[in-house]
Structure 1
Amino acid sequence: MLLSGMAGAISQEEHESHHPEQYGKASQDAGGGMMGMMGMMGMMGGKGGMMGGKGGMMGGGMDGMMEKMGAPKPKDLYPSLMNLPELTPEKREEVRKQADERVGSGTALMGKGLDSLSKGAAREDHAAMQEAISVIQEGLAQLDSGLAARRALAEGKAPRNVALQWFKREMNLLPPAAATSDHAFGGSVFHALTILILGTFAAVMIWMYFFKMRRASALLKELGSPGAVAPAAVQAQAPVAQPQAPAVKSAPPAEPPEFPAMRSRTEPVEKWSGKLRVCRIFDETPDVKTFRLAAENDVALPFTYYPGQFATLTIEIDGKKVKRSYTIASTPTQLHYCALTVKREDQGLVSRYLHDNIKEGDLIEVSGPNGKFTFTGEEASSIVLIAGGVGITPMMSAIRYLTDIGWHGEIYLLYCCRTTHDFIYRAELEQLQQRNPNLNVFATMTRAEGTVWMGLKGRFSAEIISYLVPEIDKRRAHVCGPPAMMGAMVGMLKELGVPDDLIKTEAFGPAKKPAEKAPPAEIPVPADAPAVNFTKSGKSTQLPPDQTVLEAAESIGVEIDNSCLSGQCGLCKVKLCKGQVSMECDDALSDEDKATGLILACQAKATENLEVEA
């Protein structure tokens, strides 16, 4: 039986054809074939044979030889099976367990590979799909070796034939078609598993296709009106014969398309406070820097804002926390950071600290956004932006936003600064003007002598503004800069016929510095002075006629956020629960704020008792 199995595996003629010089004479002997077969069996059998133990050619040296020939390494079960007839029951049980483990691990690997292949195909990740195929192949190899070992143990005969057939198959020595029944059983299992795997893969692909088609159909149904246009991604996935997808037949619009309202997409959230990370610092001019602030750990900012709003920084300097507000110069379309452009003032406590001490990577406490000095393109069909010095920052936020969204209204920027060295954002504005024909930038230098400047010189006048901006009386105007410059510009705009409700202003610093006052202990308080009660803190104090609610609060340790002290920023808004106040400036209050009882603590004064929510 052993000889017949061996003869079925390899013929005498085949062996002689490989070694003619050795078997040319012996083949004539009637017993030569038998002796050759027995010699072959000896090489394949014992501990020193070709396929035997660790010292055999196909035992210890098999790995290296097969790696050079491009074949996979032999499975470790086959050397153990070579001595199957002599194995003890304990050794047989050990081999059976190894075979079972091999079958289990192979099945698990194929399952894992199929799952990875399905996921990779869904997202068209070809690298992942290739890796999944390698895992499936490894699983098949392990399953094949385990099944072969089980077969040898179950039949209890010709284990060497099983090993030899495996070796010839791995070395591509078998004929194209299997002629013996020994191949039929193993081959059918392998083929069945292959067909099962391919069938499963095909089923998964078909299911994913119909799932995408069903989802595309549902999205098309939700588009609304018959004239609605499906998004490009949905149209690309939808089948040609989809009845829900209406044909789009619309001629190009004669007029520029109307851009959707900003508040319909990015309505600013409630006020946010927390720490932001300084991700980049740029020098705009010798004394102006831009600080980009990003989320501490996330990619996107934790808040949204309108172009022209400001944020308030809280900086600890010499053990004392100081707050200052700075306009956000970046565009709300940039979701990953906000940019604050700050000029270093010789007497500016916070600005000097930012320029001299803050470095990239530092964390800064920020709150906001705040402010009403905004323009999103919804408020008017054109905009005139007039700025002086660092007052260009809110204008730049609006320009960046309007050009980002492709707004088609006319934009005029009239910018005044001292010299070309003080021209903030000059390079960016030149590029934006080249790419946006509706952006008109006019700059003038007040100290142009000795510099290379061929533009306007001096300050803007009503005649120059009227010449640069046609029909200015019909346009909305925003003015930001030093108080004196703002006052002069507002007068010119009114002279040119611009209505008051189309003129918006904002000072980038205190519009009016608070007058020097004697220390509270030295101010005599009238006996009949009204009192102010702070309901949240449970504290109260007298309120002299010339003292603001904010000053009264600070005198007894009640904290109210504040920054500009001029009624411009609106950071000190508090609710008035009882009483009446007067305010010299209430620009930071909207009509809605006033209707709900909000006042500016830095401006509010009273001659009667008050109750304030603070």
Structure 2
Amino acid sequence: MVNSSPAPLGHWTDDEPLECVSILPESENVVTVCFQAPSGRPFEFDAGQFLTLELPVPGGPLYRTFTISSSPSRPKSLTVTIKAQPDSIGVRWIIDTLRPGMKVKANGPAGHFTAANHTAKKYLFISAGTGITPMMSMTTEIYDLGSHCDIVFVNCARRPSEIIFKRRLEHMATRIAGLDLKWVVSAPDRYQPWTGYQGRLNQLMLGLMAPDYLEREVFCCGPESFMQSVREALAGLGFDMDHYHQESFHAPAIPGPQHVEAPVPDDDLPDEDIMAEVTFSRSGLKQSCAETETVLAVARQAGIAIPTGCTFGVCGTCKTKKISGDVYMVHNGGITEDEIEEGYFLACCSNPRGKVEIEL
């Protein structure tokens, strides 16, 4: 008897275009585009990877890179979730022009920002805005596989209505144990009460959200300024940055052994091997110290009292004015940007850099 079943098609490769099958609105100026392979071939990728799309905009093709928001555990389709910024050209073309049935060329999948490379018992996913997309892919895969789950999932948005995938993630959290969702917004929606975290993500929030953060593998994605603030907050808490990973877009990888993770940027953090000196202008005292010591600790060593309360950059009691020099400060809301511009800093969470003179 002859077996007449068709031969397996294999997995999709980027020699075949992607066909748009649907465009789903998520929030204002945010859509999820769903693609399938015209041949019916399934997709193979690691959760957290990205694609580079070739968009036929007027004036010539435009190449834009987007993280895959769907999970490899659902291989028959592939989605990207994108937001149009005021100066967007490629995303604006997708929202205004791309329609079901149209095809676009793609390169990839590629990228190394994936939990597949860093398996762990506990994860801390931190994202802002559309930086939630790789976290959604990784979380959905864990959910679909029925694996043991211990994820603290933190997402920051301007308003509650702008949190992407909120309902979908909350549904997942009702079906499995161990998915702990934490939302942070800059401001509430006008007609909707907000009972979650509000303000700028900081060390205090991280400590409340994930008290065992030192034991977790951390993945972070968002604007560079956001990721830098997260790196600084974690470093200030004594986190081992070897277990920190962030999204870094680059050219699609080519086959071969060079698939290595992009290095985390050097944030020029205080170094215990580098010495500094603090001068207290009123008394004329000078105190040498390591860069890793806070100005508050240096003042106490010199016998100078600085009023203090929380010692965590929240209350603002230790606000001090700098006459000259630089300090490295990671605060938690106890000082305003205007005060920083005027030369003030919080002694409890600031490290001296080189020679610093303060008004005490």
Task: Give TM-score, length-normalised by structure 1.
Answer: 0.39
Distance in 2 of aligned mates of 1:572 and 1:357:
29
Displacement of 1:276 in angstroms is 1.1
User: Please, which of 252, 276, 280 is the counterpart of residue 571 of structure 1?
Assistant: 252
- Establish whether residue 345 from structure 1 lines up as the match of residue 85 from structure 2: yes
Distance in 2 of aligned mates of 1:388 and 1:338:
22
Matches within 5 A, 1:166-245: none
In the other structure, the counterpart of 1:499 is 240
User: Please, which of 419, 435, 454 is the counterpart of residue 159 of structure 2?
Assistant: 419
Distance in 2 of aligned mates of 1:329 and 1:432:
15
Displacement of 1:319 in angstroms is 4.0
Q: Secondary structure at the match of 2:32?
A: strand
User: Please, which of 212, 218, 222 is the counterpart of residue 481 of structure 1?
Assistant: 222
2:107 and 2:252 in contact (8 A); partners too: no
- Establish whether residue 385 from structure 1 lines up as the match of residue 125 from structure 2: yes
Distance in 1 of aligned mates of 2:211 and 2:15:
43
- Establish whether residue 326 from structure 1 lines up as the match of residue 7 from structure 2: no
Distance in 1 of aligned mates of 2:168 and 2:21:
20
Name the structure, 1 or 2, with higher relative contact order (CA <8 Å, separation 6+). Answer: 2
Displacement of 1:269 in angstroms is 7.3
Displacement of 1:277 in angstroms is 0.8
In the other structure, the counterpart of 2:16 is 274
**Which one has a larger percent strand, Structure 1 or Structure 2?**
2
When residues 294 and 589 of structure 1 are mapped into structure 2, their CA distance, relative to the original with a 3 A threshold, is farther
In the other structure, the counterpart of 1:361 is 101
When residues 350 and 492 of structure 1 are mapped into structure 2, their CA distance, relative to the original with a 3 A threshold, is same
Give CA-to-partner distance per residue, 1:306-355, whole Å, 9 cap, x none. Answer: 00000110011114011111000001011110010010122111001001
Give CA-to-partner distance per residue, 1:342-375, whole Å, 9 cap, x none. Answer: 1012211100100110011111111211000001
Identity %: 26
In the other structure, the counterpart of 2:289 is none
Matches within 5 A, 1:35-184: none
Distance in 2 of aligned mates of 1:389 and 1:417:
6
Displacement of 1:496 in angstroms is 2.0
- Count of aligned pairs between the two proteins: 253
Alignment gaps of 5+ in structure 2: 2-9, 265-360
Distance in 2 of aligned mates of 1:417 and 1:354:
23
The one-letter code matched in structure 2 to 1:425 is F
In the other structure, the counterpart of 1:250 is none
When residues 587 and 375 of structure 1 are mapped into structure 2, their CA distance, relative to the original with a 3 A threshold, is closer
Distance in 2 of aligned mates of 1:305 and 1:297:
18
In the other structure, the counterpart of 1:289 is 31
2:12 and 2:44 in contact (8 A); partners too: no
The one-letter code matched in structure 2 to 1:294 is Q
Distance in 1 of aligned mates of 2:189 and 2:102:
40
Question: Alignment RMSD, CA only?
Answer: 2.7
Distance in 1 of aligned mates of 2:149 and 2:238:
21
Displacement of 1:295 in angstroms is 0.8
Q: Secondary structure at the match of 2:251?
A: coil
1:446 and 1:457 in contact (8 A); partners too: yes
**Which one has a larger percent helix, Structure 1 or Structure 2?**
1
When residues 420 and 374 of structure 1 are mapped into structure 2, their CA distance, relative to the original with a 3 A threshold, is same
When residues 372 and 572 of structure 1 are mapped into structure 2, their CA distance, relative to the original with a 3 A threshold, is closer
Distance in 1 of aligned mates of 2:69 and 2:207:
27
The one-letter code matched in structure 1 to 2:231 is V
Q: Secondary structure at the match of 2:99?
A: coil
Task: Give TM-score, length-normalised by structure 2.
Answer: 0.66
When residues 403 and 332 of structure 1 are mapped into structure 2, their CA distance, relative to the original with a 3 A threshold, is same
Matches within 5 A, 1:213-612: 272-298=14-40, 300-301=41-42, 303-376=43-116, 379-448=119-188, 450-452=190-192, 453-506=194-247, 568-571=249-252, 588=262
The one-letter code matched in structure 2 to 1:287 is N
2:68 and 2:80 in contact (8 A); partners too: yes
Alignment gaps of 5+ in structure 1: 1-114, 116-267, 508-567, 576-585, 591-614
Displacement of 1:572 in angstroms is 7.5
2:128 and 2:221 in contact (8 A); partners too: yes
Displacement of 1:421 in angstroms is 1.8
The one-letter code matched in structure 2 to 1:284 is E
Give CA-to-partner distance per residue, 1:359-410, whole Å, 9 cap, x none. Answer: 1111111121100000138621111000000100000000100111112131
**Bigger CA radius of gyration:** 1
The one-letter code matched in structure 2 to 1:440 is D
